[in-house]
Amino acid sequence: MSKALTQHPSIQGERLNQGMSKAADIRIGISGWRYKGWRGTSYPDDLPQRKELEFASTHLNSIELNGSFYSLQRPESFARWHEETPASFVFSTKGSQWIVVRVRMNNSVSWSR
State the Cα angle at 36 between 41 and 98, rounded to 5°. Answer: 130
Rounded Cα–Cα distance for residues 41 and 27 (Å)? 22
pTM given for the model: 0.65
Model confidence at 6, pLDDT cuts 50, 70, 90, reads very low
Q: Where are the domains of the chain?
A: 29-105
For residue range 69-102, list pLDDT tens digits in order: 888 899 999 999 999 999 999 999 888 888 777 6
Neighbours of 70 (CB within 10 A): 11
User: Is 70 exceeded by the pLDDT of residue 32?
Assistant: yes
101 vs 64, residue with greater confidence: 64
If DSSP states are collapsed to H, E and C, what string results for the chain?
CCHHHHCCHHHCHHHHHCCCCCCCCCCCEEECCCCHHHECCCECCCCCHHHHHHHHHCCCCEEEECHHHHCCCCHHHHHHHHHHCCCCCEEEECCCHHHHHHHHHCCCCCCCC
Question: Which range is least confidently modeled, 10-14, 21-25, 58-62, 72-76?
Answer: 10-14
**Mean pLDDT, the chain, as a whole number?**
79
